[in-house]
Amino acid sequence: MTDEQIAMRDMVRNFVREEIIPHAAEWDRQHIVPKATLEKLGGFGFYGVGIPSEWGGAGADFFSYLYLTEELSYGDAGICNTINATNSFANNVFAFGTEAQKERYLRPVAEGRQIACMLLTEPQAGSDAANLRARAELRGDRYVINGSKLFITSGATAKISLVIAVSDPAAGRRGISAFIVPTDTPGYTVVREELKLGHRTNDTCQISLENVEVPAENLLGELGDGLKIALSGLETKRIVVAAQAVGVAQRAFDEALRYSQERETFGKKISQHQAVAFTLAEMATDLECARQLYYHAGRLKDAGVRCVREASMAKLFASQMSERVCSAALKMHGGYGFLNDFPLEKLYRDAMVFQLYDGTNEIQKLLISRELLSNR
């Protein structure tokens, strides 16, 4: 690690332990994060980690972002999702936006003044991202967007969004475009905030787009670039999900290790029972394997090397590992692990979704197998 990476990791680690962990359980129960906490995270440069400083970002490398992700998820995976969704918007506008779009829409996000979201998923279009029904019709100098989106991270709290919609139904996958849409635009409506098993500290919403009008200059990239833009960061996102999964599992492991050295049965600490000690050894090994997988994929990404297989392997293994480790940690606490007085039940709930978003684990297996077979 470089001095800069160590400094960022330590800054996040201290913030998480001082200002998130003491409140995470209560925020989870109330389904909130205080505005002041989000503003502090924005002030640290966490909304535009990889965006150059000239546009208001932190100008950090991808590996620093992975460290940040693991440390934030150690404290609360839902808050980390808010950060990740905002960074996804920022990265897309930086990569595909005009100078005017960057000045107007990227800078406020990268400087930590606005939370952002991305509207891609639809009821019939999850893993099948190209099967969109939302429409964007050019009328004069404006696009009019109609459709419905769901599972939108920060759909209610975000001030700016990136909407993926069909601009040319006859063109198939090449007829999908991306549009920058302020969330206070008339017709952008939060239909409902979903009640979830975990990640309760960010809002996940169903959004209705009814005659939402945006200027033609809000088209991001070229007409037909929408699917390319939406899918361009999937390798990155899958490595990030792996880092999230490791962060949650690391917290569960630390809680289990601590408890095993405090709890006594039959006259000795439970860590001195071979069954418990061996379980801890397996948990630690699982964690290190997952961390090294995402480190490897992250290094390849930073080097500009294609890493579809490695990113999918990291996401697949880490998400499964997180469920295993959190389950084992909960069981090690016995009945206490089942109570919300202890953090294990929350960590277990938060771990469950890593196998679902940014490509289900079945999709990861499909991608890995394709990569293996294509190289024969």
Inter-axis angle of helices 3-15 and 62-75, to 10 degrees?
20
Rg (CA), the chain: 21
Q: In which element (H, E) is residue 90 found?
A: helix 77-96
Q: Are strands 188-193 and 264-265 parallel, antiparallel or unpaired?
A: unpaired
Question: Alpha-carbon dihedral of residues 354, 74, 292, 301, nearest 10 degrees?
Answer: 70
- Greatest mean pLDDT among 63-67, 208-212, 357-361 lies in 208-212
Residues 262-273: pLDDT tens digits? 999 999 999 999
Strand spans (E) along 14-134: 116-119
372, 312 in Cβ contact below 8 A? no
> What does the block give as tokens for 123?
């009821």
Cα separation, 313 vs 269, whole angstroms: 37
Inter-axis angle of helices 234-260 and 274-302, to 10 degrees?
160
> What does the block give as tokens for 297?
């994929």
Cα separation, 226 vs 212, whole angstroms: 17
HSE-CB for 25 with a 13 A CA cutoff: 8
44, 71 in Cβ contact below 8 A? no
Instruction: For tokens 């999900």, name the residue.
Output: 241
> What does the block give as tokens for 231?
């899918």
Cα separation, 376 vs 143, whole angstroms: 46
16, 72 in Cβ contact below 8 A? yes
Q: Does pLDDT of 246 surpass 70?
A: yes
> Which residues, in sequence order, are CB contacts of 31 under 8 Å at separation 6+?
200, 201, 203
Query: For the chain, what's the residue count?
Result: 376
Q: Does pLDDT of 287 surpass 70?
A: yes
The pLDDT score that the predictor gives to residue 4 is 86
pLDDT band at 125 (very low <50, low <70, confident <90, very high): confident
The pLDDT score that the predictor gives to residue 253 is 98
Q: Reduced to 3 states, what is the DSSP secondary structure of residue 164?
A: strand
Q: What is the pTM of this model?
A: 0.95
Residues 198-240: pLDDT tens digits? 999 999 999 999 999 999 999 999 999 999 999 888 889 999 9
Residues 160-200: pLDDT tens digits? 999 999 999 999 889 999 999 999 999 999 999 999 999 99
The pLDDT score that the predictor gives to residue 376 is 58
Cα separation, 72 vs 328, whole angstroms: 22
